Amino acid sequence: MDKLIEDFSLGLFFWQLVLFIGLVLLLRKFAWKPILDSVGEREEGIRSALAAAENAKKEMQNVTADSEKLLKEARAEREAMLKEAREIKDKLIADSKELAKVEGDKMMKQAQAAIESEKKAAVADIKSQVANLSVEIAEKVIKEQLSNKDKQLKLVDDLLGDIKLN
Amino acid sequence: MTKFLFVATIFVSMSAFASIEDGNDEEGEKSLKAEITEYIDHHLLDSHDFSLFSIEQEDGSKKHIGFPLPVILWDEGLKFFSSSKFHHGETLAEVDGNYYKLYHSKIYKTDAAGTINYDEKHHATNVKPLDFSITKGVVMIFITGLLMFLLFRGLAKSYAKNGSIPKGIGRFFEPIVLYIRDDIAIANIGEKRYKKYMPFLLTVFFFIWFLNMFGMTPLGVNVTGNIAVTAALAVLTFLLTNLTGTKDYWMHLFNPLGDSMPWYGKLPLYIILIPIEILGIFIKPFSLLIRLYANMTAGHIVIMSLIGLMFIFKSWIGSPLSFGLAFAISLIEILVALLQAYIFTMLSALYFGFASEEHDHAEAH
């Protein structure tokens, strides 16, 4: 310890203080400040560039999401339209079927009615024709039977025999 | 850089060759050891001339190669003369009718015959004039400062020229600057207040590192191993810490327990605590100055002793062995040079961090 104090050089202490403080001040002005400033600036630049890239990425993602959404919507719309069309088609078919059936039934009924009336007319016609024919036949038969006297007399007899005054 | 360090290591390992000349006679063995011890002692001290090496001439006198430095004394007026007047301590310097003698790297005022009086502990009792000489240490401080200025000014300029991208040697130093900013300053002081300490931290780191590295060169300077230099640095840390101390820092110093206790409870504790806290303010920077001084001095002593061993062994086994050892220690010393610079900067930042702390008092300590 004695030796340390003995060896302590006040002059060197003084010069070290003066030179070192001078060095700190000089370097602060001419070296450290510009160095730290430009390093800071550079870091700030890198940071902002990274942030910008991040933003761009996010925006990109947004855009993709948007277009995807649009696509989805379009697809859904198409689906809906198709469905609607199909429904319309089905309805149309069903409706026309119904209509056809109703019309058919109506026609059928009319046909049946017509047939019925035709039938009736025909039957009536046949009846009248049969009646006419019978009359004609009967006329012819009677004409035949009454062609000679004998037969007329016999018929009168037969008829008289049938009547017998019941 | 590593190549440079490697070469520097080899040089420092050889730096003693020129000055320690061996005597071939038996008696020379003893005087050689004494000479080595003296050489090491001498090396560890600052010196008034910049001697690179000395050669022993045939007539036994030494021829010193180097250059003298200016001596500035305050002895009832400013005395200014060249250190060549001392002839490396061999002659008295006569200035304005006063005689000065260089004795163990210190300047003493003597009579015309150059008598040195000793007390019982063999300390010289002669008057020591205030010595503000430009010594070898001062020259090295100046050279290091100049080197740092040119280096970092260049780095700063290269940013301006290249659009914030370092060039050349700046590529090596920029990561170190950033490391000091991010892992020493911001980590210990905090994002908010680190900026004002940055010039000091950066300067102190590179200053100590460069001077430590210069100490490894054959120039043989031991600036950071000089207690006056480390003391000056520690004083600056001390002043910066306490002059920039926040209210919280002083509150913490004089009221370490805060409001956690009533005043009558704190009183007996504070009789012990506050003196310890106050002592702590001084012990912290003191530990800085002793740590740097002791580490660098010890490193120099070890390396120089190992180099000295080469001349004592003078055998084919011993000398290469001590050369190898000196080489290995030199490599370690290169690491220590960086490590000590880091520790000094780191601890300074830590103390600045204490000084600039700001927190809620409700917060637990």
Chain segment B197-232, per-residue pLDDT in tens = 999 999 999 999 999 998 888 776 788 888 889 999
Taking the CA of residue A70 and the nearest CA in chain B, the distance in Å comes to 45
Decide if B148 and A42 are in contact by the 8 Å CB cutoff.
no
* Same-domain status, B149 and B295: yes
Tokens of A142: 């009677």
Judge whether B80 and B107 are in contact, CB under 8 Å: no
Q: Give the mean model confidence (pLDDT) for residues B162-177.
A: 82
Same domain, B127 and B148: no
Flag the least confident range among A21-35, B73-87, B273-287, B296-310: B73-87
**Helix count and strand count (H, E) for chain A:** 4, 0
Regarding whether B95 and B180 lie in a shared domain, the answer is no
Same domain, B99 and B204: no
Cα→Cα distances B290→A39, A58, B287, B307, B352, Å: 35, 57, 5, 25, 19
Strand, coil or helix: A146: coil
Average pLDDT over residues B314-335: 87
Pick from A11-25, A84-98, B39-53: least confident: B39-53
CB contact under 8 A, A23 and B203: yes
Q: In this model, does residue B186 exceed pLDDT 80? A: yes
What is the extent of the structural domain holding B86? 55-134
User: Looking at chain A, which residue has its C-alpha nearest residue B44?
Assistant: A7
Interface of A with B in 19-48 (CB under 8 A): 19-28, 30-36, 38-39, 41-42, 45
* Same domain, residue pair B208 and B219: yes
Give me the pLDDT at residue A25, please. 93
Which residue of B lies nearest to A33 if distances are taken between CA atoms? B199
- pLDDT, residue B338, reads 94
Contact list in B for residue A10 (CB cut-off 8 A) is 130-131, 228
Residues of chain B found within 8 Å of residue A40, distances taken between Cβ atoms: none
DSSP lists the bridge partners of residue B66 as B51
**Which among B208, B203, B200 has a CA at the least distance from the CA of B237?**
B200
Instruction: Provide the residue type at A8 as one letter.
Output: F
**Cβ contact, residue pair B164, A38, below 8 Å:** yes
Question: Does the pTM exceed 0.80?
Answer: no
- Of the pLDDT bands very low, low, confident and very high (cuts 50, 70, 90), residue B42 is confident
pLDDT, one tens digit per residue, over B113-134 is 777 777 777 777 777 788 888 8
Q: For residue B10, is pLDDT > 60?
A: no
**Regarding predicted confidence, which is higher, B294 or B247?**
B294
Q: Three-class SS string for chain B?
A: CHHHHHHHHHHHHHCCCCCCCCCCCHHHHHHHHHHHHHHHHHHHCCCCEEEEEEEECCCCCEEEEEEECEEEEECCCEEEEEHHHHCCCCCCEEECCEEEEEECCEEEEECCCCCCCECCCCCECCCCCEECCCCHHHHHHHHHHHHHHHHHHHHHHHHHHHCCCCCCCHHHHHHHHHHHHHHHHHHHHCCCCHHHHHHHHHHHHHHHHHHHHHHCCCCCCCCCCCHHHHHHHHHHHHHHHHHCCCHHHHHHHHCCCCCCCCHHHHHHHHHHHHHHHHHHHHHHHHHHHHHHHHHHHHHHHHHHHHHHHHHHHCCCCHHHHHHHHHHHHHHHHHHHHHHHHHHHHHHHHHHHHHHCCCCCCCCCC
Among A9, A12, A31, the residue with its CB nearest the CB of B152 is A31
| Separation CA B246–CA A65 (nearest Å) | 54
For residue B211, which of B195, B232, B183 has the smallest C-alpha distance? B232
Q: Is B141–A27 a contact, with Cβ atoms under 8 angstroms apart?
A: no
Residue B135 φ then ψ, to 5°: -90, 180
* Residue B20 covered by a domain: no
Q: Kindly state whether residue B103 falls inside one of the protein's structural domains.
A: yes
Of A6, A10, A26, nearest to B149 by CB-CB distance is: A26
pLDDT value, residue A165: 65
Report the gap between the CA of A66 and the closest CA in chain B (Å).
40
Closest alpha carbon within chain B to A30: B153
**Residues of B (192-251) whose Cβ lies below 8 Å from A:** 195, 198-200, 202-203, 207, 226-229, 231-233, 235-236
Q: Are residues B286 and B309 in the same domain?
A: yes
Q: How many domains does chain B have?
A: 2
pLDDT value at B22 more than 50: no
Domain end position, chosen among B118, B134, B150? B134
Instruction: Report, as an integer, the average pLDDT of B87-115.
Output: 76
Predicted confidence band of residue B27 (pLDDT cuts 50, 70, 90): low
pLDDT at A76: 95
CA distance B272 to B274: 6
CA gyration radius, chain B: 25
Do B191 and B128 lie in a common domain? no
Confidence of residue A1 (pLDDT cuts 50, 70, 90): low
Rounded distance, CA B331 to CA B252, Å?
43
The torsion defined by the Cα of B346, B347, B350 and B352, in degrees rounded to 10, comes to -100
Instruction: Provide the pLDDT for residue B304.
Output: 86
> B127 and B179: one domain?
no
Nearest to A11 among B131, B148, B207 (CB): B131
Q: How many CB pairs under 8 A join A and B?
A: 130
Q: Which of B106, B140, B97 is nearest to B125 (CA)?
A: B106
- C-alpha distances (whole Å) from B269 to each of B5, B252, B281 are 53, 14, 19
Residue B220 domain flag: yes
Beta-carbon separation of A16 and B232 below 8 A? yes
Final residue before a domain boundary, out of B134, B161, B192:
B134
- Decide if A9 and B152 are in contact by the 8 Å CB cutoff: no
Both B143 and B130 in one domain: the answer is: no
In-domain check, residue B167: yes
Average confidence (pLDDT) over B159-167: 77
Establish if B41 belongs to a structural domain: no
Residues B129, B153 share a domain: no
Out of B157, B202, B232, whose CB is closest to A32?
B202
* Closest alpha carbon to B47 in A88, A118, A11: A11
| C-alpha to C-alpha distance for B246 and B242, rounded to whole angstroms | 9
User: Per-residue pLDDT averaged across A41-65, rounded?
Assistant: 93
Most confident of A77-81, B15-19, B310-314: A77-81
